[in-house]
Amino acid sequence: MDLIANLSLGFETAFGLQNLIYCFLGVFLGTAVGVLPGLGPIATISMLLPLTFGLSADAALIMLAGIYYGSQYGGSTTAILVNLPGEASSVVTAMDGYQMARKGRAGAALATAAIGSFFAGTVGTILIAAFAPALAVVALKFGPVEYFSLLVLGVIASIILASGSLLSAFGMILIGLMLGFVGTDVNSGLPRFTFGSMDMMDGIDFVVVAMGVFGIGEIIANLENERTREVMVKSVTGLMPTRSDWKRITGPILRGTGLGSVLGVLPGGGAMLAAFGSYAMEKKLSKTPREFGQGAIEGVAGPEAANNAAAQTAFIPMLTLGFPGNATMALMIGALIIQGIQPGPGVMAEQPALFWGLIASMWIGNLMLVILNLPLVGLWVKLISIPYHFLYPAICIFCAIGVFSLANSTFDVWMMAAFGVLGYIFRKLDAEPAPMLLALILGPMLEEYLRRALLISRGDATVFFTQPISAVMLGAAALLLAAVLLPSFRKTREVAFQDED
């Protein structure tokens, strides 16, 4: 009964006129940034964060969440029509989706992606509503010791699950942690790593880093390798799957939803890992594995369901523990802080309308996305056809305005430009920058909880191993580190990510 009452409150909040408008705006922008290669949800959310100052907390979170899971839908459109994934998690969709388009079945591929995404998104929303309250109750028992151990586990898991080499992921984590220590020490009030600059006394804002690395850096990379994008299909027909298609996609959608729901909660690239895992699973289960890569509809249905389920369940640790599982969730936590809300289990008790309104809006947003993605295919085709050199000036202007509006500081704009160059260098070195942004958010939290725990225990570090919950999480972190040393694990991990490269 409590669940029904909470969902009633959530739908009452989500169906407010303002929240409906911002939900639509979020999923529309999310689809657009998913369609446009080189402009992902991280850069878009970073650009829009300063604009959320004037919005209510529920409207801001609903819009930003719509951008995130909407981009998973949009990424499949370019993957199918242009063989150019708008999102990393849509790389797998391109393998068979583009081949279907070449065979004149673009409509069936797009419909399969939309249906699988909607079903997975709906199931993911139900899982959030069912399990988030129970997890929040457990989280209320967490103190500084448990939170520190949880963050350590999250950092280590994000290294292992990040794409690219383990060494580069570890390096990105270290860089992010060091950037997080820049600013004024909370306890002593002394400046740290500011090099005498007053502009750095408040630290390096994560929005500046995100816009630079993921926005400007992506622009530089795209301009270097700009190529003409030829859309495979000018008009899309036959959107409804046939009876034979339904038989073939039902199983992959169900299995992809289950796999994505589990992997989405894990720190790191949950949606991307879920898509690759689903594709590998469907290929092994198929009676005709040779069809994969040649236009197998199962290769579209499974991964699309998996990445959208993972995108939804990624909100569970963010909403209940205040713990970001990926870089986008870290920005969502930043949005909560901007609104003056402390992330964590207290959100559900102190802001029930926000908590349940966000969950209800996800179902509404997924329904909107089905309507947006199928009838408006023609609009997305035209958007794909726009030359990139016409788009990047507008993106740069929005980035600069967004960063400047944070503190009315030109120093932040120059800092964004510097991180843009750094982001481009990371890409040339094949170093995935997402772990760095995650560590930049988690670094100050790690330090804060470590200090609190040691103050409470009067400097006794054994408290991290004598508290049961903390000991279990540190033990899990140790097992993950031990697994990294196993050659068989490293080989399996490399195989899992080789298709992305």
CA–CA separation, 279 and 298 (whole Å): 8
pLDDT beyond 70 at 490:
no
Residue 145 sits at φ, ψ, to 5 deg, of -65, -50
In eight-state DSSP terms, residue 344 is S
Give the pLDDT band (50/70/90) at residue 255: very high
Question: Greater confidence, 333 or 375?
Answer: 333
Nearest to 31 by CA among 104, 114, 126, 105: 114
Q: Quickly tell me which residue has 């209320």 as its tokens.
A: 140
Confidence of residue 260 (pLDDT cuts 50, 70, 90): confident
pLDDT at residue 24 in the model: 92
Q: Decide which of 158 and 479 is more confident.
A: 479
Residue partners of 474: CB distance under 8 A and separation at least 6? 149, 152, 153, 464, 465
Burial class of 165 by CB neighbour count within 10 A (0 to 12, 13 to 18, 19+) = middle
Does the global pTM surpass 0.85?
Answer: no
pLDDT for 438: 76
Check whether 21 has a pLDDT greater than 90.
yes
Helix residue spans in 314-376 (DSSP H): 315-321, 327-338, 346-350, 352-373
What local confidence, expressed as pLDDT, does residue 268 receive? 56
CB 270 within 8 A of CB 154: no
At residue 86, the pLDDT reads: 58
Helix ranges (H only) for 15-56 are: 17-35, 41-48
Q: Distance (Å, rounded) from C-alpha 32 to C-alpha 43?
A: 13
- H or E stretch covering 184: strand 183-184
379: which 2 tokens?
Answer: 């609009």
The confidence score (pLDDT) of residue 80 equals 80
CA pair distance 499, 501, nearest whole angstrom: 5
pLDDT for 378-431, tens place per residue? Answer: 676 666 666 667 777 877 887 787 778 767 788 888 998 999 899 889 888 878
Mean pLDDT (whole number) for 186-213: 80
Which of the residue ranges 65-69, 240-244, 434-438 has the most confident prediction, judged by mean pLDDT? Answer: 65-69
- Determine the average pLDDT of the residues in 104-113: 83
345 or 97: which leads in pLDDT: 97
Q: Could you tell me the pLDDT band of residue 89, with boundaries at 50, 70 and 90?
A: low
**Average pLDDT along the chain:** 79
For the cut 80, the answer to whether the pLDDT of residue 376 exceeds it is: no
Residue 177 structure tokens: 């942690």
Burial class (CB in 10 A: 0-12, 13-18, 19+), 259: buried
Maximum average pLDDT range among 66-75, 112-121, 132-141: 112-121
The CA distance from 17 to 13, in Å, is 9
Higher pLDDT, 471 or 138: 471
Distance CA 7, CA 318 (A): 19
DSSP category for residue 216: I
Between 97 and 240, whose confidence is greater?
A: 97
Torsion sign (Cα): 460, 466, 467, 469 = positive
Please check whether residue 307 is in contact with residue 260, taking contact to mean a CB–CB distance below 8 angstroms.
Answer: yes
Q: What is the pLDDT of residue 500?
A: 46
Instruction: Quickly state the pLDDT bin for 327 (edges 50, 70, 90).
Output: confident
For the residues 121-132, what does the mean pLDDT come to? 84
Tokens of 267: 């720190």
Q: What is the pLDDT of residue 319?
A: 80
Domain boundaries, the chain: 1-498
Contact call for residues 233 and 381 (beta carbons, < 8 A) = yes
Q: Kindly calculate the radius of gyration of the chain based on its CA atoms and give it in whole angstroms.
A: 22
| Cβ partners under 8 Å of residue 270, min gap 6 | 161, 260, 263, 264, 310, 311, 313, 314, 325, 326
Q: Please report the pLDDT score of residue 254 as a whole number.
A: 92
SS3 content of the chain, % helix, strand, coil (to 5): 75, 0, 25
Q: What is the DSSP letter of 242?
A: P
Judge whether residue 231 has pLDDT over 60.
Answer: no
Quote the pLDDT of residue 499. 47
Q: How many C-beta atoms lie closer than 10 Å to residue 183's C-beta?
A: 17
Q: Would you place residue 492 in the very low, low, confident or very high pLDDT band (cuts 50, 70, 90)?
A: low
- What pLDDT band is residue 488 in, cutting at 50, 70 and 90? low
Output the pLDDT for position 497: 53
Tokens for 429, please give them: 């070195």
* 265, 154 contact by CB (below 8 A): no
Q: Label the pairing between strands 183-184 and 191-192.
A: antiparallel
